[in-house]
């Protein structure tokens, strides 16, 4: 059934749906009042539960053939993914959707640097220019409003520091997402997507559960609205978002996918303005975000030429 569906769906249409789906992630996270680690745990757990019947039915043989070393690498990827979710989900409690989603999308920059440092991949001049541009934009987003407030321009709320803390958490989310990508890069050449993500998600869910228990966060005492939001995070950003994006990578050039993903911060910001009260981004955030997206585009385009 899934194979027939894959053959009928145009890859670009699927990619467009995926970008819209991932753009809802920050909104769903903000709507939920559960602790950040609990939201992340149930998003991953429900995504895994939705994938598992298909994975076991179609890829049972591949699960059996996975080497113990490959399972270990997938487990490390899951740990990195768990840290990504915890830091990024928490960042949305301390900064705007526009800043958080844009900064966490700087992950390709850290992938490029990590691949250079750990995998001996070349950093070209174009890539360095893109990284520099994105860092300038990130600095403007994080420090612009506090600096303006110190000069008596804009609101003094910017001096409270919570926005800077949230921005820092979003950047941690970008770094850990890059670690997740780098850890799984070689493994994805040997293991199909679905078995790989199921093992990664299981490890990720286990780490998130351990963190939640360690923090004493309640795991079951939530109203129906919260459970629907957890399920929405799994179905939207999880299944129709990131899983479809990974599928699209087999049918569409990676450069097209990279550029398409720049639509997530834009989509999330527009949805936040419409659906969340008080989510009008400041001019500094908008300008800095545009510079960040330009830097990401330049870096991604240079990597695809390399």
Tokens of 263: 């639509």
DSSP code, position 1: -
Question: What are the pLDDT tens digits along the chain (306 aa)?
Answer: 444 445 566 777 888 888 899 999 999 999 999 999 999 999 999 999 998 888 888 888 888 888 888 899 999 999 999 999 999 999 999 888 988 998 898 888 888 888 888 877 788 888 889 888 888 888 887 766 666 556 566 554 544 455 788 889 999 999 999 898 888 777 777 888 888 889 999 999 999 999 999 999 999 989 999 999 999 999 999 999 888 887 776 677 665 676 677 788 888 988 998 999 888 888 888 888 888 889 888 887 776 666
Residue 58: count other Cβ atoms within 10 Å of its Cβ. 15
Closest CA to 37 of 231, 234, 213, 239: 213
Domain residue ranges of the chain, discontinuous segments joined by +: 10-305
pTM, two decimals, is 0.85
**Spatial distance between the Cα atoms of 169 and 305, rounded to a whole number of angstroms:** 31
Closest CA to 145 of 127, 129, 163: 163
With beta carbons less than 8 A apart as the criterion, state whether 177 and 184 touch.
no
Kindly report the length of the chain: 306
Inter-CA distances, 119 with 16, 106, 113, 127, 195, Å? 32, 19, 10, 16, 24
């Amino acid at each position: 059934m899934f194979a027939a569906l894959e053959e009928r769906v145009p890859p670009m249409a699927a990619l467009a749906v995926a970008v819209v789906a991932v753009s809802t992630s920050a909104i769903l996270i903000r709507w939920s009042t559960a602790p950040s680690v609990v939201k992340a745990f149930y998003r991953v757990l429900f995504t895994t539960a939705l994938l598992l019947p298909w994975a076991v039915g179609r890829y049972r043989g591949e699960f059996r053939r996975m080497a113990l070393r490959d399972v270990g690498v997938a487990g490390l990827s899951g740990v990195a993914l768990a840290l990504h979710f915890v830091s990024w989900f928490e960042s949305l409690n301390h900064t705007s959707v526009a800043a958080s989603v844009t900064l966490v999308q700087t992950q390709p920059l850290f992938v490029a640097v990590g691949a250079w440092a750990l995998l001996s991949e070349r950093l070209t001049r174009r890539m360095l220019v893109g990284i520099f541009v994105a860092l300038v934009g990130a600095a403007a987003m994080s420090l612009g409003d506090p600096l303006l407030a110190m000069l008596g321009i804009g609101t003094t709320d910017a001096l409270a520091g919570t926005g800077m803390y949230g921005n820092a958490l979003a950047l941690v989310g970008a770094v850990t997402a890059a670690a997740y990508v780098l850890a799984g890069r070689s493994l994805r050449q040997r293991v199909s997507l679905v078995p790989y993500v199921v093992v990664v998600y299981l490890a990720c869910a286990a780490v998130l559960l351990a963190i939640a228990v360690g923090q004493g966060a309640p795991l079951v005492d939530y109203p129906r609205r919260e459970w629907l939001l957890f399920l929405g995070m799994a179905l939207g950003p999880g299944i129709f978002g990131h899983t479809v994006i990974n599928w699209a990578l087999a049918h569409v050039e990676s450069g097209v996918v990279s550029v398409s993903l720049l639509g997530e911060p834009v989509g999330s910001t527009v949805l936040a303005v419409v659906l969340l009260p008080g989510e009008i981004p400041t001019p500094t955030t908008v300008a800095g975000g545009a510079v960040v997206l330009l830097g990401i585009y330049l870096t991604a385009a240079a990597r695809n030429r390399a």
